[in-house]
Amino acid sequence: MLYFLLSLIPLVFLTIIKSKKSIHMLQQNYYDESNRYLLWVKNNLRKVFLSPDLGLFIIVIGLVLSNYITMALFSLITIFTIIEFKRIKEQVKKPLVITARVKRMFITESILYLIILLVMILLFNDKNITVYYLILSAITYLNHFMMWLVNKINIPVEKCVYLHFKHMAQNKLFSMNLPVIGITGSYGKTSSKNILNDILNVKFNAFATPKNFNTPYGLIRSINQYLDKFNDLFIAEMGAFKVGEIATTCKLVKPKYGILTTIGEAHLESFGSRENIQKGKFELIESLPVDGIGILNGDDPYQRSYKLKNDCKVLWIGIDSDDVDLKATNIKLSGEGTTFDCIFKGDKKKYTFQTKLLGRHNVYNILAAILLGHELGMSIDDLKRGVAQVKTIEHRLELKPYGTNYIIDDAYNSNPVGSKMALDVLGLMDGIKIVVTPGMIELGEKQYEANYNFGTYISEVADYVILVGKNQTKPIYDGLIKSKYKKDNIYVINDVKEAFPIMNKLATKKSYILLENDLPDLFNE
């Protein structure tokens, strides 16, 4: 039995490697909220089942050798499997974060393995060693499902932990009695949040949720760990994948002010329909108190057409619409940033604003911040200074020097509206224009159409196109070819790292390279 247990040491290391990968995917898929993890498994069957340890599982099935040879071969093959896993380098957008929840999952998994191993020890029989190996290697091979089970087992514990920290956060907010500003929308939530935070901090000591902490868990953590007694405004970004989630978040933080950016098709697959997206996003505005203020986009037909079930004050921003409370005109974009004029309703005077940010969509975000800041008592001079000081937002149309050329980094996310806006920005630049993209995801049945249209838009702007992932980007390729784009100017690769040598070869003169969307490793081909 001792030799049998010693032979399992490599398997322990292999299990740890696989468990980290599985938990990483669970974490990126919000711990299977709305079955997102199972959907990922369904969409990545090759990646889940054609893993290096498949060979180990198959070989164990065929082992009919003596026990000592079997144990030696099992250990040796497991070691080679570990080496193969280590050899595979995957591009990771968000690394695994070892949170307390992840640690609890590892503990639960360890307990399950120990129970299985204890049963084997108690019933140990030399004749069944191959069977033991078969069971253990099968469990390791199917680790993605093992971690799904662990996640389900831990639900009661996680609910208790969640309720504990939720009560802490609510008590802290209640004791501070500071106004909360909620921001949601299909696109532009994080950009709008950061812009608003930069502008309001000219006069106030505002605190915005860090990074993309836009779930109830993220908001609770932000409140408990980062919000302090010196803050006088709390800006809460709110994300959602289905109807009811924004309402739940609003019950947690009770916003007095709300900004709705744009209603589009992001997360259409989980919401089910665009009408559900519309309803889900408006939960923020419908959760505001009667003395609250909602800022809406007058150029968005899905906001204009919605029958609001709230009597709170509603203010509108716009660029194309005239019947708004704040309108932007004379918008000028360049490689240095954007300038535009603002007209407040009832005020014939025009106020000129300047920002380092690029893109028409950022003008909308700035307009919302200006209008809310004005309602909160900020002067025009303070607002102008705030807009001028707004920092560029990482991976969101961020202009970066690249040798003698420039990269327009829009890698964080991509959607039909945002990708078109990014191409509009690229089209304004004077030089060789290159697009690097793996396309758009999580658009359900409209994914092909959206990426196909993206391809047609690219054909109107870009001199060269680098597509990441042959299968993923086929709709873009089809759109390019249908638009009679030159095949010789299209490069198809399977890893974004391969794009840089191609970019260096193409960018012989002054060039602008748009990095549009950077899929996390769970979507890599």
pLDDT in tens, 42-86: 878 888 887 877 777 677 666 655 566 666 767 777 787 777 777
Give the residue among 482, 402, 484, 479 at the shortest CA–CA distance from 437.
479
Residue 514 confidence (pLDDT): 92
pLDDT in tens, 499-516: 889 998 998 778 899 999
Residue 397: count of CB within 10 angstroms of its CB: 24
Is the pLDDT confidence value at 524 over 50?
no
Rounded Cα gap, residues 481 and 466, in angstroms: 14
Residue 341 has pLDDT above 80, yes or no: yes
* Strand bridging mode 180-184 / 233-237: parallel
Identity at 11, one-letter amino acid code: L
pLDDT of res. 268 = 66
pTM beyond 0.85, yes or no: no
Q: What are the structural domains, with CATH classification, of the chain? A: 2-153 (no CATH), 168-389 (3.40.1190.10), 398-523 (3.90.190.20)
Smallest CA-to-CA distance from 207 within 189, 223, 190 is with 223
Encode pLDDT of 136-161 as tens digits: 888 988 999 999 999 999 999 999 99
Residue 34: HSE in the Cβ half-sphere, 13 Å Cα cutoff: 16
Tokens of 116: 């299985």
Q: What is the DSSP letter of 470?
A: T
Instruction: Please tell me the distance from the alpha carbon of residue 190 to that of residue 393, in angstroms, as a whole number.
Output: 9
- Listed in sequence order, the residues at least 6 apart from 162 whose beta carbon sits closer than 8 Å to its beta carbon are 216, 217, 220
**Quick one: average pLDDT of 486-498?**
90
- At 31, list the tokens: 């711990």
Q: What is the mean pLDDT of residues 179-201?
A: 93
Half-sphere CA count of 237, side-chain side, radius 13 A: 25
How far is 269 from 442, CA to CA, in rounded Å? 6
Highest average pLDDT, of 35-44, 98-107, 122-131, 404-413, comes from 98-107
Q: What is the mean pLDDT of the chain?
A: 87
Q: CA 133, 137, 140, 146: dihedral to nearest 10 degrees? A: -80
State the residue for tokens 């949170």. 99
For the residues 480-499, what does the mean pLDDT come to?
Answer: 91
Q: Which one-letter amino acid corresponds to residue 419? A: S
Q: Is 12 helix (H, G, I), strand (E, B) or coil?
A: helix
Query: Given this model, what pLDDT does residue 83 score?
Result: 78
Radius of gyration of the chain (CA): 27
Q: What are phi and psi of 352, to 5 degrees?
A: -90, 130
Q: How far apart are CA 421 and CA 424, in angstroms?
A: 5
What integer pLDDT is reported at residue 518 of this predicted model? 66
Q: What is the mean pLDDT of residues 33-44?
A: 83
Instruction: Kindly state the average pLDDT of the residues 453-473.
Output: 93
- For residue 301, which amino acid is it? P
Instruction: Count Cα atoms within 13 angstroms, Cβ side, for 228.
Output: 3
Closest to 29 measured CA to CA, from 87, 120, 96: 96
How far, in Å, CA of 125 to CA of 363, rounded?
72
Beta partners for residue 342, in sequence order: 328, 351
Residue 520's pLDDT band, with cuts at 50, 70 and 90, is very low
Please classify residue 221 by burial: count the beta carbons closer than 10 Å to its beta carbon, then call 0-12 exposed, 13-18 middle and 19+ buried: middle
Query: Exposed/middle/buried for 41, CB within 10 Å: 0-12, 13-18, 19+?
Result: buried
